Structure 1
């Protein structure tokens, strides 16, 4: 079976067009939220906490803020993208169309990851208006940005297939992902925690993603860069395995 590039492009273009129809929700709102974080954390806390690992506090929180938006937007874009066809019943048209399961995943996840990565770059540009930034490893920064956007878009795709209602779409991002992000060193270094709590925090997978992304900026992180890369790829592989199982069994897709 040949690769149906036209079918993939059609789904991808439709999902990207949906983002353009909701520019305020997709782009403007996250940027305003990020600016408020800088006002609150950068000004209020930054005036009392000048530097962390030799990096000004306002600049230190930039990678964490980008990751926070990247996680939530990747999950939202991908989960809503695949859930809405289930909700309206058009998912059966997609499943019966001459596109394979892999092509469907590439289209939906690719569109969600693209929107999230673009948003991450916009937030990065917004952050540069508030604090001086340096990116020591720009290639690694883009790699982590794209890899994280893709991984969490896959995770969101899984949530969209699993969810039976709009409430379930929001449950995992609100009750699981957001708390893990705030406890994963977004606004502080885990080295500042007591030894016992630091050990507990190391079981939080988000720590490794944020640490690796922060390393690409400043050359230092809470955990080694190798562990960050392995954790990111590990999560990606797990998500791919779950998506493969869902399509192979038809879990909540054909019933």
Structure 2
């Protein structure tokens, strides 16, 4: 494993975050803080508790997961797309560095940035709502695993996209709606039986449910099932990335 090459790419990606600090960190934190103000304070004070948890507190895991998913995808997608756009991807492919090391560097940087953002949003939540974390280790496991998984997904999108419009297509039209419909702002137990069954086909439900369990010790789906579904998606993304580098899909043309 060429650790020097991995670190060079990783450091370059992290440096890009420092240059775009307002867009990468400040903007998502402010946007999420507005959710806390509107849903937690203004609306949450007028709503009843959900499973014994105040509504403003209940939505915290869902909001963190929303930011974690979108930022993981965005960071990884833009990270690999720009070398394609500038033409420097060919220098990277010709360098004495394996495909595994390329993926580890880009995905590792994207996951690191998303995890840091998630922790900042978590710290911000303590300023707005009373919050407890019953299983902090499980919370970190879900956060890191989700960041890595969706950074891989974003890496795939970055390779697939051949223009800036496609970079935003999947996150805006698929991932964000699935997150809002995945129990971020409500418990799926509140839905009628038919719609609850339909919702279980939404993969984001398992991420939000497992992450919420780490906070409150209760969830809509068994935490083991949530963890298992996350690993399934991770393995699927790894399989697609392996196929991309094996075939050179949109990399060597």
Give the TM-score, by structure 2 length: 0.99
Matching residue of 1:137 = 135
Please say which of residues 33-42 and 89-98 is displaced more in the overlay.
33-42
Gaps of 5+ in 1: none
Please say which of residues 50-59 and 208-217 is displaced more in the overlay.
50-59
Aligned length, in residue pairs? 253
C-alpha separation in 2, matches of 1:53 and 1:170: 36
SS of alignment partner, residue 252 of structure 1: coil
Matching residue of 1:170 = 168
Alpha-carbon offset, residue 44 of structure 1: 3.0
Say whether residues 1:220 and 2:218 are aligned partners: yes
SS of alignment partner, residue 124 of structure 2: helix
Gaps of 5+ in 2: none
- Select 1:190's aligned residue among 185, 188, 191: 188
Alpha-carbon offset, residue 148 of structure 1: 0.2
For residues 106-142 of structure 1, the C-alpha deviation after alignment (integer angstroms, 9 at most, x for no partner) is 0000000000000000000000000111110010000
What is the RMSD computed on CA atoms of the aligned residues?
Answer: 0.6
For residues 138-181 of structure 1, the C-alpha deviation after alignment (integer angstroms, 9 at most, x for no partner) is 10000000000000000000000000100000000000000000
Matching residue of 1:5 = 3
SS of alignment partner, residue 229 of structure 1: helix
Give the TM-score, by structure 1 length: 0.98
Say whether residues 1:117 and 2:115 are aligned partners: yes
Matching residue of 1:18 = 16
C-alpha separation in 2, matches of 1:152 and 1:51: 31
C-alpha separation in 2, matches of 1:26 and 1:51: 33
Matching residue of 1:232 = 230
Alpha-carbon offset, residue 40 of structure 1: 1.3
Alpha-carbon offset, residue 247 of structure 1: 0.2
SS of alignment partner, residue 46 of structure 1: helix
C-alpha separation in 1, matches of 2:138 and 2:67: 19
For residues 59-96 of structure 1, the C-alpha deviation after alignment (integer angstroms, 9 at most, x for no partner) is 10000000000000000000000000000000000000
Matching residue of 2:205 = 207
C-alpha separation in 2, matches of 1:130 and 1:40: 11
